[in-house]
Amino acid sequence: MKAFDKLCSRAICLPLKDVDTDMIIPAQHLTSTSREGFGENLFERLRAASSDFIFNHGQAKGSQILISGPNFGCGSSREHAVWALMDFGIRAIVAPSFSDIFANNAAKNGLLLIRLDADKVSELDQQLSNFSQTLSIDLKEQVLSTSNGIKHSFVIDAFNKERLLKGMDDLDYLVAHMSDIEAFKSKQKIFLNSHSAG
């Protein structure tokens, strides 16, 4: 997993509530067996429906931050949504809230999610929507600031922060605890009749 420390970039502003995973990456693109290449079809339908859609803007490519509305990433569990955003170049998303499964998936891939109050997100949206300014994120200090002086601190749980800063991986962490896991599982009582179906 890629480590996350500091980032300074223009931001793409998508002030929509309930951006769902079908919008982010439509299901017909999920037949790939790879993690790569999904960025090409990021928000495909919205990009096709209107040339004004923000991801069609000349400045969108190369912007590494997305600002969006509450409940971002709702819907399906497809991690492809996170892969598509990251493949496009997004490294951080600022929104009032995120859906649970999307947030879990983001944490597994080093995509930083920043939760901010809705009025602060709206303010950022107003400042950043024409790509004329940049947004800086300092994860260690838990601060974000725009090039014209708006500054907010943000909250992130200590465990997630450390994982992101170090680029640590959940699977390495779990594998390191394998003896605890095996001891636990050997004592566990479940009633799955595993042999009947062969």
Partner 1 sequence: MQKNIIEKIWDEHVVKAHDEGPDIFAIDVMLLHEVTSPQAFAELRKRGLNVFQKERLFSTVDHSIPTDSSRHKPSDPLAKEQIDTLRKNVKASGVKLFDIDSGEQGIVHVIGPEQGITQPGMTLVCGDSHTSTHGAFGALAFGVGTSEVGHVLATGCILQQRPKTMRVNFKGMPPANVYAKDIIMALIQTLGVDGANGYCIEYSGEWIKGLSMEGRMTLCNMSIECGARAGLVAPDQVTYEHLKGKPHAPKGEQWEKAVAAWSHFVSDSDASFDHELDLDLSQLKPMVSWGTNPEQSVNILGSIPKLSDLPEDKKIAGKKALDYMGFDQSRDISGIPIQWAFLGSCTNGRIEDLRVAAEIIKGKKVHEKVTFYVVPGSEQVQDQAEKEGLTEIFKEAGAIVRKPGCSMCIGMNSDKVPHGERCISTSNRNFIGRQGTGSYTHLASPATVTASAIEGKITAAG
List interacting residues with partner 1 (CB under 8 A).
Answer: 15-18, 20, 22-23, 26-28, 30-35, 45, 48, 70-71, 74-80, 82, 97, 99-101, 104-105, 108-109, 157-160, 170-171, 173-175, 177-178, 180-181, 184-185, 188-194, 196-197
Cα separation of 42 and 94, whole Å? 18
Nearer to partner 1, 149 or 172 (CB): 172
Tokens representing 183 are 């001891």
Nearer to partner 1, 74 or 135 (CB): 74
- φ/ψ bin of 137: left (φ > 0), alpha (ψ from -120 to 50), beta (otherwise): beta
| Angle, helices 100-109/158-166, rounded to nearest 10 degrees | 30
Nearer to partner 1, 151 or 187 (CB): 187
Chain centroid, CA 98 distance in Å: 9
**Minimum CB separation from partner 1 for residue 50, in Å?**
12
Nearer to partner 1, 68 or 134 (CB): 68
Pairing of strands 151-153, 135-138: unpaired
Cα separation of 73 and 82, whole Å? 9
**Minimum CB separation from partner 1 for residue 164, in Å?**
12
**Minimum CB separation from partner 1 for residue 43, in Å?**
11
Nearer to partner 1, 10 or 46 (CB): 46
**Minimum CB separation from partner 1 for residue 174, in Å?**
4
**Minimum CB separation from partner 1 for residue 68, in Å?**
12
Nearer to partner 1, 111 or 137 (CB): 111
Tell me the three state secondary structure of residue 114.
Answer: strand
Residue with the two structure tokens 């590494």: 64
Tell me the three state secondary structure of residue 73.
Answer: coil
**Minimum CB separation from partner 1 for residue 100, in Å?**
5
Cα separation of 27 and 80, whole Å? 10
